[in-house]
Amino acid sequence: MSTFQQLELLCKQENIEYICDAIMCDYTTFRIGGKADFLALPDSVSKLEALVNCSKECGIDYTVVGKGSNLLVADSGIRGLVIVTSHMDDIELLPDNTVVCSAGTPLIKLCIFALENSLGGLEFAYGIPGTVGGAAYMNAGAYGGEMKDVVVSCSHIDNDGKNGVFTAEELAFGYRKSIYEENGFIITGVTLKLFESTKEEIRAKMNDFLSRRKDKQPLEFPSAGSTFKRPEGHFAGALIEQCGLKGYSVGGAQVSEKHAGFVINKGGATAQDVLELVENVKNTVLKETGVMLEPEIKFVG
């Protein structure tokens, strides 16, 4: 029995949805990427653990993704197992305005849950197209708020396949980073502490932030969100625009004419198009401004 046949057998035994030769452009907001050898969509932590343990026993590499909102997948795809957490989306309200949710919960679903329960603190995240686990992984933020402001702890599976929990202090949150970028653990759940507010106030903030996103960001095109991290003392989009790169294209990839901080897929863009465009933008901005831009997008495959 081949290693992938073992994974297939596990998925059938555990009732885990799976796809062989999955097309990864269907699982990223960039709509870019080749095939994954084997893709599985567990709906519980125990099924996720089973997949990780099986892949380790079989010597298969695995990659964990949520909604694929911050990813650029190689044109050649991803070898091994891809675990998509989007079916792990449970939310539970605990006493003292505490919320526990699975890692694959879409941020927009969590924000609406908070609104329905008159809980403030997450308005900044409304409209960010990712999962809670992904947002905690990179300490996502916008409009003056960040995940570190509301996250109390994260549960995870470590590199030995064991369950664990990190408190907020142990998460080592920084600008668009957390301890998980360094240790490679898999986030399985996130606990957040919110505060009582009125639905009217929460809804007003959410609508305001969403309106600003629609006005300033190229939401009508596939992208991976902000392409570059914010350089200290600068704004990436402003630097790129200053260098006359708005609208600059390589193949189907383009620096958005609406917001230069976004690289968009105008149609048929390849990962190679994006990589070449990003490298050219970095080099031009460094040459003309002396500022080195650091990509925020994660490249896999």
**Within the chain, which residue ranges are assigned CATH 3.30.43.10?**
3-84
Residue 20 has a CB neighbour count (10 Å cut-off) of 12
Q: What are the pLDDT tens digits along the chain (301 aa)?
A: 577 889 999 999 999 999 999 999 999 999 999 999 999 999 999 999 999 999 988 889 999 999 998 899 999 999 999 999 999 999 999 999 999 999 999 999 999 999 999 999 999 999 888 999 999 999 998 888 999 999 999 999 998 888 999 999 999 999 889 999 889 899 999 999 999 999 999 999 999 999 998 889 999 999 998 999 999 889 999 999 999 999 999 999 999 999 999 999 999 999 999 999 999 999 999 999 999 999 999 999 8
For the domain bounded by 3-84, which CATH number is listed?
3.30.43.10
**Within the chain, which residue ranges are assigned CATH 3.30.465.10?**
91-203
Pick the CATH number of 218-300 from 3.30.750.24, 3.90.78.10, 1.10.3720.10, 3.30.70.1290: 3.90.78.10
Tell me whether residue 215 is exposed, middle or buried, using C-beta atoms within 10 angstroms of its C-beta: 0 to 12, 13 to 18, 19 or more.
Answer: exposed
Angle between helices 199-216 and 107-116 (to 10 degrees): 150
Give strand pairing partners of 142: 145
Tokens of 87: 């079916």
For the domain bounded by 91-203, which CATH number is listed?
3.30.465.10
Q: Which residues are catalytic?
A: 176, 226, 296
* Contacts by 211-218, CB closer than 8 A, 24 or more apart: 212/143, 213/127, 216/258, 216/259, 217/258, 217/259, 217/262, 218/256, 218/257, 218/258, 218/259, 218/262, 218/264
**Within the chain, which residue ranges are assigned CATH 3.90.78.10?**
218-300
* C-alpha–C-alpha distance, residues 172 and 167, integer Å: 9
